[in-house]
Amino acid sequence: MSLLDDIGFSYCKPTSLPLDPNVKLNASNGELLEDACQYRSLIGRLLYLTISRPNICFAVNKFSQYISALRTTHLDVVHHVLRYLKATSGQRLLFSSLSYLIFKAYDNANWESCAETRMSTIGYCVFLGDSLICWKSKNMIQSLEI
């Protein structure tokens, strides 16, 4: 909540998704931002927040790829994530002592999902019982073997 207060999003309209699935980010859409320092600081705070909020990892990963050429469309996506944080401010990681100790893991890959770089996105999450204990989302370069 202190992040939302500092940015001025305390009274923003909440949203239920961390990233709009219809938004396609790239390095050329929108106007360049004049004050990129504030935006980079905000991305750093959101990266730190992903430690306890794995539900925003993918969104933060997507818009942090364009940190060298920041545009207004990227700022709109960051604002969308802030609105999502407003809607889910009471959610936390839960480590239940009542669940059975069953080890489960899930993974997914989206091959060549980035139209500009042809990079793939992979991710996984690991549960011990009902508790999320490990997760990761990463872009990978697709290599061709002949």
Q: What is the pTM of this model?
A: 0.63
SS3 label, residue 88: coil
**Residue 56 forms part of a structural domain:** yes
Residue type, 71: R
pLDDT at 145 over 60: no
Residues 69 and 121 in one domain: no
In a domain, 95, yes or no: no
Helix (H) or strand (E) holding 116: none
Structural domain count, the chain: 2
Query: Exposed, middle or buried by CB within 10 Å (0-12, 13-18, 19+), for 135?
Result: middle
Answer whether residue 33 is part of any domain: yes
**How does the average pLDDT of the chain come out, rounded?**
76
Same domain, 73 and 40: yes
Rounded Cα–Cα distance for residues 91 and 79 (Å): 19
The residue range of the domain holding 20 is 2-87
Last residue of a domain, one of 45, 63, 87: 87
* 43-86 residue pLDDT tens: 888 888 887 777 788 788 777 777 777 777 777 888 888 888 87
